[in-house]
A and B are shown apart, each in its own frame.
Chain A
Amino acid sequence: MTDNLIIKGIEFKSRLWVGTGKYKDFQETKLAIEASGADVVTVAVRRTNIFDNKSDNLLDYIDPQKYKILPNTAGCFTVEDALRYSRIARETGISDLIKLEVIGDEKTLFPDVCATLQATEILAKEGFIVLPYINDDPIMAKRLVDAGAAAVMPLAAPIGSGLGIRNPYNIKIILEQATVPVIVDAGVGTASDVAVAMELGCDAVLLNTAIAGAKDPIAMATAMNHAVKAGRLAFTAGRIDRKLYATASSPIEGML
């Protein structure tokens, strides 16, 4: 029996999604992504380096035939910019997926929820598979689903902070209500954070800095690969209840 994540008919082979930013070079990016086992990789939309056409292209290292490319709208602070970046991203012909980020504040990089909601509605109507980045806010998660989001991507903690899941209870409420997949996005620091997200029942985890910023990104990518599988398996296995007092594992009967 397969336990693969499916969004809008697209089947995902891994529940770990990874970004491609902040790596030393494209070779390291490639090796880390291979080690992570991810089949979704996020990318940003930026001006081509037209005056140096000998410079490498990311997609020479991350084959769009092999990986699902998930463009983001990182750096967009308005609905208009997010729409512009999304439409340009789709015009490359590589992907209808969009990781929608409409940032509200430079210091926290928290989302502008009103703008995110507006942009989600417009892009979903245009046929995009919209995956919005949001706070760990159960009400906004519901509103985004009503607006046409194909999944919701609540943050664990601020982008790049490595703080891990700050509010597991809100994530749990989002999960209880969710009628679409829930993907924890941003703020993960290490493998145990990924395992916690998966054990809560999240459908996937998206991370970038936790791997790219590690001292040994390839080793951390491997750790994340294991963590996402271990966490998912623990979730489906069904953990024991938490109890305040001890319950002996060895029998009393037969003691001397």
Chain B
Amino acid sequence: MDLNDTPQQAEYRAKVRSWLEEHKHEAPVLQGEGAIEDEHEAVEAHRAWQRKLAEAGLTGVTWPTEYGGQGLGPLEQVIVNQEISRAGVPGILDAIGVGMLGPTIIAHGTEEQKQRYLAAMLHGDEVWCQLFSEPAAGSDLAGIQSRAKPQDDGSWVLNGQKVWTTNAQFASFGLLLARTDPDVPKHKGLTMFIVPMDAEGVTVRGLRQITGDAEFNEVFFDDVALDPDLVVGPVNGGWGTALTTLMFERLTIGGGGEGMGYRADRFARALASDPAAVRDPEVRKRFGELATDLLALRFTGYRILTALQRGQIPGPEAGMGKVTVVNAAVAAGDLIADVIGPDAFSLDDEWNYLISFLPGLKSAGGTEEILRNTVGERVLGLPPEPRLDKGIPFSELRDKEREAAGASA
């Protein structure tokens, strides 16, 4: 076992580090003391920073070179992430686009789409958002109801609503999953579209969360006209396209919660500043247990990276890391609030934010329950639960559901 870089990786790391050393004074301050307060200003400063990172070859590290990427492996991407975090500067503005949506377009898009969208995405000139989840379809993503109807001229008209959409308030485009054929079973009637966020009929509304901030949005579509060249991948083959995005999502999250700041050493510092807490056996026990989980996550991350380096794609078991990190972070927030007392909920306190943010994170990127189902079935080989929707046209599903609800009532 060896956690060291290979000579080539060490050379790459040194190159990245020296660029960041030289340019980190140009990075905007987005969090903590001296942070830019105005949201629009902050976005523009962040966008400019992404452009600089892109010009230095530090975005889209794993993208093919013909689309402006570096054509390197996932480990080089990790090296860039580590060095950015070490330098204490923000990463890119559009991590969702560059990490998940761009790779989907690279895998399924037409050559024209790639030429039109990818470079502007990479440089942050056009930010993207992911329009998958809906109020009534999250875990059961294939149950989405947003409807795109084909027109005689080959274009489409879109109606429906999406939710939990990060960055929609300043995004130029969204990658959207819509139902295009309701008369076939639900996985078979979906299509992926590119939606210009400034199109007529698109409305973005901020969605405030427990934290008080609006990090997500709701997006509404009223008779939005979509040109034929906005379809990504095959018509009615959108489920396969979406699976690609979800695979990249897993890969993005695969690195674990350390990048999100849920680290044992950070929580240790908070507790160590209170001498009475350090001596309290109950505090030590609770901290020892949650810290064990966070450490396990870091080293599971190294196992996943090893697999990636060997060209393997992380399986659904990588999703278990999310369960571990969220629960350990919840336990940490709870413990720190117990130690600090009511003052932990001061408005500008980092723990106030952490404690409020985590309950929602539990459902983000797959609820704990759906993750456990997937791992139980795909990794342990346990049989699936009987389901009502197999082989049934989407349009008949609501009636079936009502029938079932009536039967059990």
Query: Do A and B form a real pair?
Result: no
Interface residues of chain A, those whose CB is within 8 Å of chain B, are none
